[in-house]
Structure 1
Amino acid sequence: MEYDDTFFELSRFLTDKQKIYLTMTSKRMDSLKYIFRYQKRMNVHDIKNLPYFDNFECVKISTQKERRPKYAKYIYFKSITANIPSDITHLRFDNSFDQKVKIPPSVVYLRFGFYFNQSVKGCIPNSVTYLRFGEYFNQPIEGCIPPSVTYLRFGHRFDQPIKGCIPFSVTHLTFGVSFNKSIKDSIPSSVTHLTFGACFDQPIKDCIPLSVTHLNSGSHFDQNIDDCMPSSVTHITFGKSFAKSINNLPMTVKQVKLSQNYYIPIHKSVRKRIKIYRE
């Protein structure tokens, strides 16, 4: 392996700042700044005049006309219109944006703004893995979420039926404040982290799949939980309205968070095996 190749491989274990410091140690080392790749997200405007501009892999652009580095892998763009550059990987819409839109297939990270409330049928490509809706979104989602999504988060106003709507790729699923629909046969067996919002108060018997390890029931939840928790669950958070016994939780549970107002007696054996926190 040649000298420069060796340093290129070593640079994989260095931060961008460490790489720059290394290039400042000698004239010979200075040449390495044109070989190293830089991973820290940078605004294109701040690096556009650097002679090693093309070596930045993660950049943020503010207009479509801005030049991108040759080796850019992650391009962040905050949009106020539906006209999206075709090479964007990380897309976040401005809070005021509320138009129909077609997301380009280069996007892997997609976050809609606060007021967005349009149908997303045929809108989201199979490239997206991270999907977050804004607080006003409350549209039907049947056939809308692609099977590539692993992280899915809904905003405050979402309260639509979800049966058959959440793909089996999703591992992290979060609902907003208003959601209070039945979840019977609705949560896929891929989900490991499941979080409900403030208004959720539905029966969960035979509703939580065996894949779930972390469960947050939301602040208004107060349903019976006996024989309702799968043996996969290790961490549970109950809200301020919860007033049911936790004495029959599965043996797999390691940690439970309860409201300061929780008053139901807890067996000594449960206290010994489960870490209980008050919030």
Structure 2
Amino acid sequence: MTLSPGIAVIFLLLSFFLTSTIHAGEKSHSDSDDSVSELICQAGQKKCEGTHGKGCYSPAIGQECFDGLICPPGRRACVGDNGARCYDPASGQQCFNGLVCEIGRQPCTGSQGTSCFDPAVGEECNDGLVCKSGMKACIGEHGGSCYDPSIGQECIDGKVYFPDQKKVVKPKTSPPRSKRLKALKKRKKKDKASITCPPQLRKCVGENGNGCYDPARGQQCYDGLICQPGQKGCVGPYGVGCYEIGRGYHCYEGLICPPGKRACYDGKDKPYCYDPSRGQSCN
């Protein structure tokens, strides 16, 4: 069938109209998607975008922007290898390469973490581990913690031993995971009659040694391992030790990783600690 010239023109016009409508709708949809992701600030505000985030800030009221970090009036940006945060110089706070310390405190950074310490009260910094007055740092393969030599505690390769506690030297290589779990299940407590404790103390006897501890002081017992107040036991085939609660330490079957680090175990060798913030990964 042959269409008349008039009808053919009508079909061409309809086809052009439909095509234009579809393209216009697609463009409108694309524009709306772009506007959703775009940062829109109010009058008087400026955009603050960078590696530390994005947002809007108001210079007129004293806000400042530093590479995506927005600080309120009176505060300054403290950015470096130790993080990004705002601090208040007027209150005596100081910035140390991304670490903010209160007045009188100094930075303590190293493989054991990042924190601040106060030498005026006898605190000491040891490779990122802060120990209180009278305490010493015990850092080694098994992690890091503080110990008190005045009460007979000893340090061996990152593990703190208490008086009369059996000193266990763990092998440098580890058995297969199935054997390790089986060995853990077969652990047996030692005879509690082997030691005598004063009335106010309790016996702490197990695979990790034996001794007396004082629950009233907040000490805790972990299968023969005695931890001081504020500490928790990390016991397993890879080591035995105590670590401070709330400081960011990570425990994996006896391996204690310092704050900011995580444990990695590939099933072939002993686990190790790695630092995700420095681009390290668990392979």
Larger strand share, 1 or 2: 2
**Structure having greater relative contact order (Cα 8 Å, sep ≥ 6):** 2
TM range (shorter): under 0.3
TM-score by length of 1: 0.26
Question: Larger Rg: 1 or 2?
Answer: 2
Structure with higher helix content = 2
